[in-house]
A and B are shown apart, each in its own frame.
Chain A
């Protein structure tokens, strides 16, 4: 068979044998090289490639993680900003009052007899003070007001139609609504900043904190304000105000 390959030249026996050996050596080498290549391909499929892929994934995840935390931080900041904006839009500035010096007002309200509900009698040196004391009296009925700390502030701006009684009703109702909608915010000190009698408008601030079951005592919840036997005595030097609240 090999003779056919070298048909053209007729060599001597040694050349012949040398050629045979070289040829078979070369073929053998090719076969071994071929097997080696197959083996390497097999190894690559089972070992090297997954390793490469794993390393690549890790690298990718690392970069993604960094990107995600960056995004989260950015989002949080954005949320904070929008929340602040929302709060300010809805209720006016709400801030903690760590640096504010606080002087809680004297108690100028009391509770009077009424069959089913409670009548708050508040007084003060001015009509504004009586209104403020009325709100504080209402909150004091709902919880032990001495345990409320000064952590938050809510501002309200209301207008009423009609007369002073409508104004008082709206003022008290608004604070009750703030309590009901702002996570049970209880105001320990209320301050009226604007009291416009002609336009029947009040802008006021309440300093207090949200009700916390673990720290605050549970009093009686006020359901609503009523016009029942509501009296506002402006002429009197003590500016007495009487209002009945529904329990």
Chain B
């Protein structure tokens, strides 16, 4: 049904300066409204996307983010609103930066692997150190090389942590507890991780042999794409009290940020689930507007199998990140001739931004169990929530927003308003503005690298072509995204971090 751009606009209504509503009827069968948070700059990009799609009518083009938010709102069992966070952009099925919550006890409610993403438990973790920028600047190149040598990156890389099939099974079941047992992570790390590094509903038997085979050689590797490990320096502190609770005391303090996911295992689990659910959809007669929105009833065997397999893949990602934390600690210790303990390399927090969780939320005064899908959205629980660690009870859960290569990253904290409006979710990063093919054509990798060198950033990349695609210019401005979150009240700015060394695959 090719509508004109003006007709589409009738369904979009502005609520306030940074929030828009998508009314029912934008796409057929919407059960609830959609809502998305943008500021002036970002809204132009969103509407441009919609305009391009209306012109081409869907042939050779793609569904714009707004349409995808609305398609998600048409899924059965959805509760509240289908929320688009400031970094929302078009993905497959669900938009990336889309949060949707489903009533767990509703027999018609569904679970969708598209709502979690292919990279299950893609997340960010932040380590602090007691080093200052002055300590690190003269050793920057050495440090970057040391980390690049310790952490395998890029296509075809194999993990260095010794593992066999039995270890993998245990790791899938126990998550970070396995890392702790093997000595790769510290006991305090577990405290400062979402779900304490282990999802209890994980069942390794629900992960196929293929997925395990894919995952075994890749444990402890960074991967490619937008994954990275960065050595960052605190640039600004907005909330001194909250930052103090996290161990960030002064400007110029050095931190390490690692962004990666569950590698081939997660991708395989998602692919297998999509195939199984396509069959289930026909059997249970679930209607969706988009073929990529494959889903199954939560209470059906396929739905439950997917949830258990997803939890196992999430555990794998936490083990992956703990292994890389271990390698990063070793790299630093080797460079500074000290121990990770002496360098105070504690974990500040570990968040995941591609996951589905069973959470309790209060809707209309009643407590309900919801299955919250966060695809490209990070959990941001407010102060005094029982699931966040004791250290952060007063300040709220830290939210780690990774910038892109060469741009700033942020640490935010969760707020009560975010809990009410978006079920405790906020943005995850910058979101892309330019397509990868356009970036490859318009940008040169040596120009990008020169620019980064001028900014004083040491960089080690496995693939030059990736440098073009991942150039900061091809992403939205993360500062815009984060400021929108702050203005909308769904999370509060806490710390700004600036990179001094980047390791990418």
Distance to closest chain B CB from A110 (angstroms): 9
Interface segment, A36-44, A48-56, A196-204, A213-221? A213-221
Distance to closest chain A CB from B468 (angstroms): 10
In the complex, residue of chain B having the shortest beta-carbon distance to the beta carbon of A182: B213
Interface centre among A162, A217, A223 (most CB of B within 10 A): A223
Interface segment, A99-107, A111-119, A126-134? A111-119
Binary interface encoding of chain B residues 131-158 relative to chain A, with 1 for a CB under 8 A from any of its CBs, else 0: 0000000000000000000000011110
Chain A residues within an 8 Å CB radius of B214:
177, 180-181
Contact for A142 among B155, B217, B291, CB less than 8 A: B155
- In the bound assembly, the distance between CA atoms of A177 and B214 in angstroms comes to 8
* Interface membership of A227, Cβ < 8 A: yes
Q: A181-B214, A217-B463 are in contact. Are A223 and B118 (CB under 8 A)?
A: yes
Distance to closest chain B CB from A160 (angstroms): 9
Q: A180-B268, A223-B267, A242-B60 are in contact. Are A116 and B157 (CB under 8 A)?
A: no
Binary interface encoding of chain B residues 197-228 relative to chain A, with 1 for a CB under 8 A from any of its CBs, else 0: 00000000000001001100100000111000
Chain B residues within an 8 Å CB radius of A118:
436-437
Chain B residues within an 8 Å CB radius of A181:
210, 213-214
Q: A116 to B91, Cβ gap below 8 A? A: yes
5 residue pairs, one from A and one from B, having the closest CB atoms: A228-B92, A180-B214, A211-B156, A218-B154, A113-B435
- In the bound assembly, the distance between CA atoms of A142 and B466 in angstroms comes to 10
Q: B91 to A221, Cβ gap below 8 A? A: no
* Interface membership of A236, Cβ < 8 A: no
* Interface membership of B34, Cβ < 8 A: no
Distance to closest chain B CB from A130 (angstroms): 16
Chain B residues within an 8 Å CB radius of A115:
62, 89-90, 432-433, 435
Q: A223 to B437, Cβ gap below 8 A? A: no
Contact for A220 among B60, B62, B271, B465, CB less than 8 A: B465
* Interface membership of B279, Cβ < 8 A: yes
Contact for B292 among A142, A177, A219, A226, CB less than 8 A: A226
Chain B residues within an 8 Å CB radius of A218:
154-156, 224, 462-463, 505
- In the bound assembly, the distance between CA atoms of A123 and B288 in angstroms comes to 30
Contact for B118 among A170, A216, A246, CB less than 8 A: A246
Chain B residues within an 8 Å CB radius of A166:
278
Binary interface encoding of chain A residues 46-67 relative to chain B, with 1 for a CB under 8 A from any of its CBs, else 0: 0000000000000000000000
* Interface membership of A173, Cβ < 8 A: yes
- In the bound assembly, the distance between CA atoms of A162 and B435 in angstroms comes to 31
* Interface membership of A244, Cβ < 8 A: yes
Q: A113-B437, A211-B155, A228-B62 are in contact. Are A220 and B224 (CB under 8 A)?
A: yes
Query: How many of chain B's residues have a CB under 8 angstroms from any CB in A?
Result: 47
Chain A residues within an 8 Å CB radius of B210:
177, 180-181
Distance to closest chain B CB from A79 (angstroms): 19
Q: List 20 A-B contacts (CB under 8 A).
A: A112-B437, A113-B435, A116-B90, A143-B156, A180-B213, A180-B214, A213-B156, A217-B463, A220-B155, A220-B224, A220-B465, A220-B466, A224-B270, A225-B271, A228-B292, A231-B60, A242-B60, A244-B62, A247-B224, A247-B225
* Interface membership of A229, Cβ < 8 A: yes
Q: A224 to B155, Cβ gap below 8 A? A: no
Q: A114 to B292, Cβ gap below 8 A? A: no
* Interface membership of B99, Cβ < 8 A: no
Chain A residues within an 8 Å CB radius of B466:
219-220
Contact for B463 among A180, A211, A220, A229, CB less than 8 A: A220
* Interface membership of A125, Cβ < 8 A: no
In the complex, residue of chain B having the shortest beta-carbon distance to the beta carbon of A117: B436
Distance to closest chain B CB from A231 (angstroms): 8
Chain B residues within an 8 Å CB radius of A142:
155
- In the bound assembly, the distance between CA atoms of A225 and B292 in angstroms comes to 11
Distance to closest chain A CB from B467 (angstroms): 11
- In the bound assembly, the distance between CA atoms of A17 and B89 in angstroms comes to 133
Q: A216-B156, A220-B469, A227-B291 are in contact. Are A114 and B62 (CB under 8 A)?
A: yes
Q: A220 to B225, Cβ gap below 8 A? A: yes
Q: A223 to B225, Cβ gap below 8 A? A: yes
In the complex, residue of chain A having the shortest beta-carbon distance to the beta carbon of B152: A213
- In the bound assembly, the distance between CA atoms of A118 and B92 in angstroms comes to 12
In the complex, residue of chain A having the shortest beta-carbon distance to the beta carbon of B376: A116
- In the bound assembly, the distance between CA atoms of A112 and B62 in angstroms comes to 12
Q: B213 to A219, Cβ gap below 8 A? A: no
- In the bound assembly, the distance between CA atoms of A220 and B504 in angstroms comes to 11
Q: B155 to A219, Cβ gap below 8 A? A: yes
Chain A residues within an 8 Å CB radius of B157:
213
* Interface membership of A184, Cβ < 8 A: yes
* Interface membership of A161, Cβ < 8 A: yes
- In the bound assembly, the distance between CA atoms of A217 and B267 in angstroms comes to 23
Q: A219 to B465, Cβ gap below 8 A? A: yes
In the complex, residue of chain A having the shortest beta-carbon distance to the beta carbon of B435: A113
Chain A residues within an 8 Å CB radius of B279:
161
* Interface membership of B76, Cβ < 8 A: no
Distance to closest chain B CB from A233 (angstroms): 10
Q: A227 to B92, Cβ gap below 8 A? A: yes
Chain B residues within an 8 Å CB radius of A116:
89-91, 96, 432, 436
Q: B155 to A221, Cβ gap below 8 A? A: yes
* Interface membership of B303, Cβ < 8 A: no
- In the bound assembly, the distance between CA atoms of A109 and B46 in angstroms comes to 30
Binary interface encoding of chain B residues 431-442 relative to chain A, with 1 for a CB under 8 A from any of its CBs, else 0: 011011110100
Interface centre among A113, A143, A213, A218 (most CB of B within 10 A): A218
Chain A residues within an 8 Å CB radius of B60:
229, 231, 242
In the complex, residue of chain A having the shortest beta-carbon distance to the beta carbon of B61: A229
- In the bound assembly, the distance between CA atoms of A218 and B223 in angstroms comes to 11
Contact for B92 among A143, A221, A244, CB less than 8 A: A244
- In the bound assembly, the distance between CA atoms of A180 and B154 in angstroms comes to 13
Interface centre among B119, B214, B436, B462 (most CB of A within 10 A): B436
